[in-house]
Amino acid sequence: MKELILIGVFVAASALGYVVIRKVPSLLHTPLMSGMNALSGVTLLGALIAGAAAYLDGKTAALLVALLAAALATVNVAGGFSVTHRMLKMFQKRGTEDEK
């Protein structure tokens, strides 16, 4: 049952995701790709759960792997959002932003 819900959620989310950016103008393709890239670091949540479980079970090796995964995912998230922000800032307010 739980499994079916998960698959259903996946299908529904995919359908919605497919619709939502349909009208994107090409000048936003790169920032959007970068923004979605940051979102894909959401796997961080998985790393946190795996880490919490390993911590509870007292499995050091698994905890270390989970911590590595969490750190990597956070690099993805933080770097991705910040790069996206920098790009979008250039479209947003003109003349005041710092160079490059």
Closest approach of another protein to the CB of residue 2, in Å: 6
User: Which is nearest to 39 in space by CA: 8, 13, 3?
Assistant: 13
Closest approach of another protein to the CB of residue 54, in Å: 7
Six-digit token string for 37: 């890239």
For residue 68, state whether it binds another protein (rule: CB under 8 A).
yes
Task: Tell me the CA distances in angstroms from 76 to 34, 64, 84, 97, one per residue in order.
Answer: 10, 18, 12, 24
For residue 60, state whether it binds another protein (rule: CB under 8 A).
no
Closest approach of another protein to the CB of residue 60, in Å: 11
For residue 53, state whether it binds another protein (rule: CB under 8 A).
yes
Q: Scanning residues 6 to 35, which ones bind another protein (CB under 8 A)? A: 6-7, 9-18, 20-35
Q: Any idea of the CA torsion for 65, 69, 71, 74, to the nearest 10 degrees?
A: -170
